[in-house]
Amino acid sequence: MKNNQRDSGDLEGGDRINLLEQAMMQGRVDRRSFMKFAAALGLSTATAATMAQNAAAIEANQSALAANLQRQYDYIICGAGSSGCVVASRLSENPDIKVLLIEAGGSDQVPAIQDPGIWFTNLGTDREWGDKSVPQTNLNNRQINLAMGKAIGGGSSINVMAYARGHKNDYDFWAAEAGDPRWNYDHVLAIYKRIEDWQGAPDPAYRGTGGNVWVQPANAPNPIAPAMVKAAASVGIPSFDDHNGAMMEGPGGCSIANTTIKDGRRRNMASQYLHPVMARPNLTILTQAEVQKITLVGKRATGVEFIWQGKTHEIGAAKEVILSTGALNSPKLLMLSGIGAEASLKRVGIRAVHHLPGVGQNFMDHILLGGCVWEYTSPQAPRNNLAECTFFWKSDSRLDTPDLQPFQIEIPYTSEVTGKQFAIPPAAWSIAPGLVRPASRGYVALQSSDPRDHLKIHANFLTDPADMKALVRAVELCREIGNAPELREFAKREVMPGPLKGKDMENFIRNAAMTYWHETGTCKMGRDRMAVVDHKLRVRGIEGLRVADGSIMPRVTTGNTMAPCMIIGERMAEILKQA
């Protein structure tokens, strides 16, 4: 499914130019061939020569750095995801600091990552880790896929490119838990304004321009998206031009979604932060390198052990090791290194170096149902990321923060169960009910001491009755909006679920429940005995080791988590620069 915000010929040409440039950066195309192919794609000789020079410099630099690995770097960052890319970019701004960034996956310069319209084709491939939950009792014993990115850019390379900052109350809660006002909304808002290059209507109170992070409302959206904004208004959900402005300080609203798509291409965190600085001589980036454990002397982290090019390497960190491997792999690496609940480590044959019971606890994820579906009256081609309209709202007016975030999806969106239960026509669209303030909490545990083994992920979805109650309301609300007069011209009929009630509705939800792939919370920041990191993201009780990714969230943010993970990276860089 191609993004049609530009002429398809232009998009394909742009793709080819970008892939050609990346091929040269990776040493797969020489200068002569580059110039020949660039001319065939219509680039001027001068433009092609400049691109070739830059690409050659990056390829030569990274090849030389990788070929001459140092025994020690100042900082080792494990994971080039939405947080890790930021930390590596910011720390390497200081030419006197040597930074090593280790990523288990490969390049992000592949069509499935770059083309927003086929983002879902990354699922189930080697560009994600392939983790699954254990069978979930409250989801009719189903196992749920828990995709996390395994490529340069991490989750930002395989997600839906939806940019949601989070609610004011989220960050104020983090600050209270951490005991540090620099995690509060006012400080985080200032960071967002500094780093963004906002392309929507000017809003200096909330949005910034000229930064390195390109953000825009979905460009030339499918007509069902603005129709949904009107339909939501008809049931009492106010309309906003931007869901990341004033709207996220109040009870919610509906708008065209913010996306990180530029000129028909994904703008992941690697393209925003990492690619522009890969020519720096003090930044070494290794791909296809899997960290096995953190090396420790007593209770100080001294470096990491990893497998790269078929060999085991051990490299030291003079200052700090920073885990940015996500809410599954960061606690996994801590536990493999002997940091975690002593009894749990002992069960898999690992000697506890430091008893830290919160490691792997407090697992959270946003629930997304597949879903509420309507057949198109006349088929409409999906555009941008296939998901261009969203709303935030409260399932209960007494809540202080919106707990629901459904997304309109411009194709049929079903689970492996509901897709078989209902006769789903190919020309259909969806409103997927979403829960973004779950009350349920899970945990992750090692299966063995072998780093190759997947975790046991006890997600515990819908174990708290409040989550089922909220999702029932979410389905009702999505059906009300989808069947509203403002969307009638696009809806031949409602396909699923129909007017279910009581246990039938609850059973539908159990069968429809999937996730937003917003796994978070397993190394939470705080001051209680279950906190894993403190307000400066230091692992409690271990020197020279920090965690900077979605695992540190005390409570998951209200909305998609890519942008908040970027903020965690920015805060990590702030903290280290001020040390």
User: What residues are labeled active site?
Assistant: 518
Query: How many C-beta atoms surround the C-beta of residue 126 within 10 A?
Result: 11
75 labelled ligand-binding: no
Residue from 524, 541, 513, 426 nearest 144 by CA: 513
Instruction: Yes or no: say if 428 and 380 are a contact pair by the CB < 8 Å rule.
Output: no
Region for residue 76 given its phi and psi (left: phi exceeds 0; alpha: psi -120 to 50; beta: otherwise): beta
Residue given tokens 């996956």 in the structure block: 105
Compute, in degrees rounded to 10, the torsion defined by CA atoms 85, 91, 95, 96. Answer: -140
Query: How many C-beta atoms surround the C-beta of residue 458 within 10 A?
Result: 17
206 labelled ligand-binding: no
393 labelled ligand-binding: no
* CA distance linking residue 171 with residue 433, whole number of Å: 24
Residue from 78, 156, 81 nearest 113 by CA: 156
215 labelled ligand-binding: no
Residues 6+ apart with CB under 8 A from 73: 98, 99, 100, 284, 315, 316, 317, 318
550 labelled ligand-binding: yes
Task: Show the tokens assigned to 74.
Answer: 């100042």
Q: Which helix (H) or strand (E) holds 110?
A: none
Task: Show the tokens assigned to 345.
Answer: 């480590």
Cis peptide before 371 (omega within 30 of 0): yes
Residue given tokens 């965190």 in the structure block: 269
Residue given tokens 């708008």 in the structure block: 255
Instruction: Yes or no: say if 149 and 548 are a contact pair by the CB < 8 Å rule.
Output: no
Distance in angstroms between the alpha carbons of the first and the last residue of the chain: 48
Annotated binding site for substrate: 516
Q: Which residues are annotated as a binding site for FAD?
A: 291, 517-518, 550
List residues forming the annotated binding site.
Answer: 291, 516-518, 550
